[in-house]
Structure 1
Amino acid sequence: MPTDAPAMPARRALAPRYWGVHLLMVAAVVVCALLGRWQLGVWHDHRTSQAASVTHQAPVPLDDVLGPDAAFPGSGVGRPVVVRGAWDPAHTVYVADRPRDGRTGVWVVTPVVVTPSGSAIPVVRGWAPSKEEAPAGPKGTASLVGLLQPSEDTGATDTDTHDDVIPELSVTDLLPRASYDLYGGYVVATDRSVPGGTAGSTPIDGMAGLAPVTVEHLPGADTSTALRNLLYAFQWWIFGAFAVFMWWRWLQEDVLGRRSPGPR
């Protein structure tokens, strides 16, 4: 009957004798998609690992990477630097709305007046659930290894410039709060040992009572990093698309008999 005509190709294509071919095509597509996704993940992991490798370099003195009056160098992002000087707890500030492990808290930031430059660099000592739960700023000699980061200058507005809570760690916004010059960036304190130690009084890294902070800015990976894995990912997806094409062509020509007309 005419009403059955449109259903005939579908019945023919779904005949039990063709189920094996259909299942083989589905399996091939799934395998190609998963292998492509795996290679893409490997590509991403390699690039992330290379970007983070800078944080494992041997620390160098702060002034070797960023001078007191110098612009922030692109090569300085994430570099471990040694900061020595004196803590200035009177100018401790708290950077609001900083997430950690699913919670929102504050970064606790205290400047260190660096020896011998006399300029200060803001040091992110760590994370606290709130300003009230953060320990008091340290006093005395500062000696620590920190990861260098560029100033945050997204344009976030500080609704109250008279308190010690700020929306972002902007060196420009911190300048009016201090009586000394500031470096053009900040450091995130780590628990790494300072090379050679410090003579005299016991140095303080300022991290006591605070959770460590993960750096937000790392240098980008090279374009060629893990490029082969990225190409492998596309290759597997192309194989999957080709499998679909071959299945469709087989279905049209061998099962449904819809062969393309040959040349005259």
Structure 2
Amino acid sequence: MIKIERTPCPTFLSIEKAKELTNKFRETDKSVWKNKKLKNALLEMSNYKCAYCETRLEIKDSYMEVDHFHPKSLYPSEVLCWNNLLPSCKKCNVNKRDHDPIKEPIINPCEDDPKRDLCVEGARLYPRLHSAIGKSTIDTLDLNNNARLVTPRFELCNLVKKELEELHYNNIIDCAFRNKFKGLLSACSADTPFSAFTSNTLHNDSYYSEIKEKLKSNNLWSDELDELDKATKNLALDSR
């Protein structure tokens, strides 16, 4: 899970339109949030990933669901409140069900920085400093499901380690070397799956700092690499 910046409310979801559809939901119980424009706006906001588990989503894929952070069954007036909507995979949405985050708080990635309450060890999430919110978030959303999340996280992090090792033992420090390093940084950026984990692996590997120094000493470090370096470091959850 990474911090997501909430984008402005889409123009098509005006106050009047939201009120109209909210009343329709109250009267008919119809899924008034199932709108392609709304889904697309949410997907763009989260880099086409589930806001909770960071799995990849696509608008054409029915696996993407609109999550109501405050559940619509308990807070029907917020059913089309933009600040209450998040893009979710079906699994996280089902796991969360009617969980009331007001009574039992969990992380809202648009309002809370997950780095405050979560940390990683291997390919698993843990509450940071025994955070009750962190534990509740992990348990409620089943964020350490082995088959669905832990295994693919582990595989991606292993690929990062493999790329770092190959770069470390490559003694030809040229533009091709720099481009490969840039590709590795990009593969751990916010628009890629499980970036909280891959960026942690990247920045905590001893080879990473050595490769940076090689590039700098050969005058191959650039502003673009510097931006990617800072961005991925900002994504990385702390190690346990």
Q: Decide which structure has greater strand share.
A: 1
The TM-score, its normalising length taken from structure 2, stands at: 0.22
Q: Decide which structure has greater helix share.
A: 2
Q: Per chain length, whose mean CA-contact separation is higher, i.e. which structure has more relative contact order (CA < 8 Å, sep 6+)? A: 1
The TM-score, its normalising length taken from structure 1, stands at: 0.20
